A and B are shown apart, each in its own frame.
Chain A
Amino acid sequence: MNTMEKLAILTDAAKYDVSCSSSGVNKKNKGGLGNAKSYGICHTWSADGRCVSLLKILLTNYCIYNCSYCVNRNHNDIPRASFTAREIADLTIQFYRRNYIEGLFLSSAIEHSPNHTMEKIWEVLDILRNEYSFHGYIHVKVIPGSDPGIIHKTGLLADRMSVNIEQPTEQSLRLLAPQKSLQALFTPMAEICRQITQTSEEKKKFRRIKRYVPAGQSTQMIVGASDDTDLTILKATETLYDRFNLKRVYFSAYIPVNEGPNLPALATIPPLLREHRLYQADWLLRFYQFKAEEIVNPQFPRLDTDFDPKISWALRNIHLFPLEINRASYEELLRIPGIGVTSALRIVRQRRLSPISYDNLHKFGVVLKRARFFLTCQGRYYGGIPIETSLIRQALTPQPQPLQLTLF
């Protein structure tokens, strides 16, 4: 089998992994090839509109496991292939030189045993880092069940590591991936988290210490394969951020690739809108100082599909509004739908110099279409309708586009 065919097979096998970010670490080129920028760089966008930043590829798609949702499970009759460590390293270097990619995202199905697979992943990193002096970004997937020693030495070479937990609860994981358990997934995550904290503490005392997994760790959950509510998912997300200090939790709308008794039918359309709403909620957790129970609660366990989670929250808590732009604290400004981090910072900085008038508000980047119902500016309310949940909800609902009638 030639490189071209292998690349096609192993790209197809890897593409359902969501994460593709190359952010979180600044590195200079120390006499070799490559560097990294903490803001991350996207290199192109594929036909599904997702960015391509890293060479996302599997080492092999031969698998001993049979997770029902996974395209690579061993019961599936699909073309199988394996790359050697050197092939992947060469491919990475050649793509990187041409500025096609920002680095490598290496994952693998589990061939023979977790340890064997993890050892092979380490080998790729060893060639890249020590032989080719590659300083670009490397994200590795941790193979659950592999030896802590191998994970540790891989972590010393990688920029980011991730363990996919796939499902927010033990029950749904057992249904879909009977050979995995959440506890077994949390063990490496906790260990990586401990190492990261430890080395960054040591870094404060000794400058020359090498940081362990400097861009942090992330994880991924599949949405829509089991019947977990958004409440369960967001609660789990929040716990993951708190407990393991994760950089990101990714959500992946379940795309049916297999048939199974515990799975949605093959014809199911991927819940893309739900995934989108979950990401919006995730942003509220990470940048807008929201708590999971504010966004969803046992009364409203699912995210509203018609409105983004921030509007839904504001409509449920209409008694807190309107807020005065010239007096509200930064945290309060962030709670207004239509105001984001950038515009809130601009407002806070400018109002130290002069009061802010309504006419200027859009220049900050505030989306008045949404924001005007929730704020006052110099004491005046510009919403035009009484501040009542039902009325605002109606005003915010997108109107159907009028149709052009035909002439004949």
Chain B
Amino acid sequence: MDYLYDNTFDGLLTCIYYSYYEDTAKGIYPQDNYQCSLVNPSRIIITDPILSSRVYAAIAQKISSTALKQVYYVFLSNHPCKENLILKYLQLGFKFGRKIESFHTHPDVLPVHQTARKVSFEAHRFFGLLRFAETGDFLYASLTPDHNILILLADHFADRLAMENFIIHDQKRATAVIYNKKEWYLTDFTKPDMLSITEAESFYQHLWLKYFTHIAIESRKNKRLQNQFVPQRYRNNLVEFTNSLLSD
């Protein structure tokens, strides 16, 4: 039996619930691009927050809170069959309990650990690589990450820039975290056309660019090393790599 869910974490956990108490799931797939097969019957699962919260609590209790975190990070990844990774990991986890974390090389555990690591690494990277620009009423930052890490950035920046209004915009997924000096929320978002930066903003961008070019030591120049740390795909949103006005 293939279970189809609605792309939410709650939906995924509801599938796990049904897989445990009713038919064991052979695979879990997103509803919107599922290819029907003649061999496997499929079933659309309606997301039920009560059931999902029971599974959520069960993972934390019967496996461990680290395992729960791993599962959530994998869910945020862009791995093409992340649902099945999670399914297998949890099936094993409910058998082994917290020991599963130590079983690093197990074929059902290793891909989960690796994927979760990639997601958390990218989130960590964007703690640094995000660039805000002043637009008058709020600070605006956009990014195009590989994984859906927006929600992992929210708490960090809400604490750091507590006295500011800001929007962090994931251009790839057309979502944004919006913070209003009190709390943040995640929402669908498209970039408004009239977004323009203030005069002070362009002054500080120029200062930053000046600083960035001058801090490099000429006799130690190492572009390859720089490329390793700042991959080309992230550079479109970085002031110091797009703005070549001052690169002398």
The answer on a CB contact under 8 Å between B105 and A35 is no
Per the bound structure, the CA–CA distance linking A55 and B214 in Å amounts to 12
The answer on a CB contact under 8 Å between B211 and A11 is yes
Interface residue? B133 (CB, 8 A): yes
The answer on a CB contact under 8 Å between B217 and A255 is yes
Given contacts A29-B162, A47-B221, A364-B104, are A41 and B226 in contact (CB under 8 A)?
A: no
CB contact list, B119-164 vs A, under 8 A: 124, 127-134, 139, 141, 156-157, 159-164
Report which of A28, A44, A95 forms a contact with B129, defined as CB distance below 8 A.
A44
The answer on a CB contact under 8 Å between A29 and B159 is yes
A99 surroundings in chain B (CB, below 8 A): 128, 130-132, 141, 157
Report which of A28, A44, A94, A102 forms a contact with B159, defined as CB distance below 8 A.
A28
Q: Smallest CB-CB separation from B201: which chain A residue?
A: A98
B110 surroundings in chain A (CB, below 8 A): 363
- Please report the number of residue pairs spanning A and B whose Cβ atoms sit closer than 8 angstroms: 147
What size tier do the contact residues of chain A reach?
A: 35 or more
The answer on a CB contact under 8 Å between A353 and B222 is no
The answer on a CB contact under 8 Å between A7 and B210 is yes
Per the bound structure, the CA–CA distance linking A270 and B156 in Å amounts to 39
The answer on a CB contact under 8 Å between B229 and A15 is no
Interface residue? A34 (CB, 8 A): yes
Given contacts A16-B217, A349-B102, are A97 and B208 in contact (CB under 8 A)?
A: no
Interface residue? B204 (CB, 8 A): yes
Q: Smallest CB-CB separation from B230: which chain A residue?
A: A45
Interface residue? B35 (CB, 8 A): no
Report which of B127, B160, B216 forms a contact with A15, defined as CB distance below 8 A.
B216
The answer on a CB contact under 8 Å between B105 and A46 is no
The answer on a CB contact under 8 Å between A52 and B204 is no
Given contacts A44-B128, A46-B226, A99-B132, are A270 and B219 in contact (CB under 8 A)?
A: yes
A272 surroundings in chain B (CB, below 8 A): 220
A45 surroundings in chain B (CB, below 8 A): 225-226, 229-230
The answer on a CB contact under 8 Å between B214 and A360 is no
Given contacts A15-B217, A48-B220, A350-B105, are A33 and B161 in contact (CB under 8 A)?
A: yes
CB contact list, B90-132 vs A, under 8 A: 99, 101-105, 110, 124, 127-132
Given contacts A11-B211, A352-B102, are A94 and B222 in contact (CB under 8 A)?
A: no
Per the bound structure, the CA–CA distance linking A179 and B247 in Å amounts to 38
Given contacts A8-B214, A11-B211, are A363 and B105 in contact (CB under 8 A)?
A: yes
Interface residue? A244 (CB, 8 A): no
Q: How far is the CB of B109 from chain A (nearest CB, A)?
A: 10
B-contact bits for A88-108, CB 8 A (1 contact / 0 none): 000100110111101000000
The answer on a CB contact under 8 Å between A97 and B139 is yes
Interface residue? A51 (CB, 8 A): yes
The answer on a CB contact under 8 Å between A43 and B162 is no
B-contact bits for A1-28, CB 8 A (1 contact / 0 none): 0011001100110111000000000001
Interface residue? B245 (CB, 8 A): no
Interface residue? B223 (CB, 8 A): yes
The answer on a CB contact under 8 Å between A48 and B217 is yes
Q: Smallest CB-CB separation from A3: which chain B residue?
A: B207
Report which of B162, B229, B240 forms a contact with A51, defined as CB distance below 8 A.
B229
B218 surroundings in chain A (CB, below 8 A): 48
Per the bound structure, the CA–CA distance linking A89 and B14 in Å amounts to 52
A100 surroundings in chain B (CB, below 8 A): 131, 208, 239
Per the bound structure, the CA–CA distance linking A238 and B129 in Å amounts to 35
Q: How far is the CB of B242 from chain A (nearest CB, A)?
A: 12
Q: Smallest CB-CB separation from A351: which chain B residue?
A: B102
B219 surroundings in chain A (CB, below 8 A): 255, 269-270
Per the bound structure, the CA–CA distance linking A44 and B103 in Å amounts to 35
B72 surroundings in chain A (CB, below 8 A): none
Interface residue? A49 (CB, 8 A): yes
The answer on a CB contact under 8 Å between A49 and B222 is yes
Per the bound structure, the CA–CA distance linking A302 and B240 in Å amounts to 40
Q: Smallest CB-CB separation from B125: which chain A residue?
A: A42
CB contact list, B42-68 vs A, under 8 A: none
Interface residue? B186 (CB, 8 A): no
Interface residue? B36 (CB, 8 A): no
Can you identify 21 A-B contacts, CB atoms within 8 angstroms? A7-B214, A33-B162, A33-B163, A43-B128, A44-B128, A45-B226, A46-B212, A47-B216, A50-B215, A50-B216, A52-B215, A95-B204, A97-B161, A98-B134, A98-B204, A253-B220, A350-B103, A352-B102, A353-B103, A363-B104, A364-B105
Interface residues of A (CB under 8 A from B): 3-4, 7-8, 11-12, 14-16, 28-29, 31-35, 37, 39, 41-53, 55-56, 91, 94-95, 97-100, 102, 253, 255, 269-270, 272, 346, 349-350, 352-354, 356, 360, 363-364
Sorted nearest first, the 3 A-B pairs with minimum C-beta distance are A49-B225, A46-B216, A47-B216
